[in-house]
Structure 1
Amino acid sequence: MEQDSFSMNKSAFSQPNSYTQNVHSLLVTPSISLLSLLQPSSGERILDVGCGNGVLTAQIAATGAITTGIDLSEESIAQAKANYPELDIQIVDAACYRTQERYDAIFSHAALHWMADAPAVVKTMQLALKQGGRLVTEFAGKGNTKILLDAVREELVVRGYTWEGRNPWYHPSVGEFASLLEQHEFQVLFIQQTDSLRPLKQGVRKWLCSFAHHLFRDIGADEQESIMEVVEKKVEPQLCLEGQWHLDISRLRVVAIKA
């Protein structure tokens, strides 16, 4: 089950720029990978924002690009450095990162939804890019895991708890994120939201446990179990299909250039 929403700045494709022309031709292929949209080339300086374990950073570097990966997770960076000691990988808050030498492109996969201060992160990316440099990113957008989070919120409110401050994610709409980019001198070439039900291997209870330190931070273990049991039963008709649990996933995919 997928629903796509598109917003394109068609005038951007009329510019005499090989990258915009190439991207325009790629966008007719919905399954094209994010790295294919980035189109890294040898000698380019590329920043990977939220690089995690460095797997994608290494793939970019394999093209001959000069890469820098940044992430706030010490555990992820330690793993990246262990696996790819030749790469420039740094523990840095993307909201605060600054560099003297500008990048040709910025790449970010499945990371921006963890960065609460989105304006500061977008400012970082704007300052880090050369004029005409490109931004290619994909992350969770508005409505991501809404069925499950709505059920959690409703159960918490019934029990007298407040929902404020429990949701750790930044999930903007197409319009919200496009507007934020434009406020920071980006020209949006392409922005797409895709909604789908994605199979969840271990069920919603395991998923809820993974984020319990955010969702149930001030609630005792026994009551957490009670809440999760109620939530699981409530969402089962929508998220458990033919015995398989799913998550309702929303993803934003964005291509923009620094104007």
Structure 2
Amino acid sequence: MAEKIRIVLPDTGPLITLAHANALEVLLAFDAQQVQLVVTDMVEFEATRHRSTREDAQRISDFLEKHAGRIVIEKTVFGQMAISAARIYERYTESQQLRDFYATSNMPAPSPLAPNSGELSINSYVSELIGQPPGPPCLVIAEDDFFLRATPGALPGNAHIISTATLLAKLEELAPRFKARDVLDAARHYKGREPNRATVDSPAPKVKGGSTWDATVAAAQLTTKLTKKGNPRMKGSGSGS
């Protein structure tokens, strides 16, 4: 029998897509009694770091703050190192005095944030959960090829990977008034960024009996939290990041 996932981790891409569509409440469709929502420190940093100038980043920040406890921000070994390095790089680019100090000290300039840093922090977190393999099954919601097209064995064996489009399709199946295409279209209309519409559903390969996530989606929550707002294109699809 497939084991239910217990932890849900959205990557930066899905957070941005849902923020653009003003539909971050999609993530609350998981049953809080069965599933813990987790955002890693690096994903939070990447998704909210420009909140003072970008509306979508502010939406994500507000959402995470509003649902603190329901959504846990988890520190990771990789994330703590990467965030520290990113902040040093930001200070370096903003301060001529600091750049002069590096130059006179013959120190190499700090490097910018590495690509896929958020994904690597998720990998770090899921791997850290493995006390006795394979660890609790975790659902990773992703849009980047780092997860969606990863070669077998490249990800922790307790990671079940789905795409944003797959999650939205399941929500529509459970609550037909909710339209997955409307969310994806609203995200694209926000500022022209095309969300990844690939449908991917890859169970955790090392969980005995496999892993399942759709049974942890609460249909009642879908009705009350998602469909009551109507078409997600109706709200907040103006300017931003």
Greater helix proportion: 2
Greater RCO, CA 8 A, separation 6+: 2
In which range does the TM-score fall when normalised by the shorter chain?
Answer: 0.3 to 0.5
Give the structure-2-normalised TM-score: 0.33
Greater strand proportion: 1
Give the structure-1-normalised TM-score: 0.32
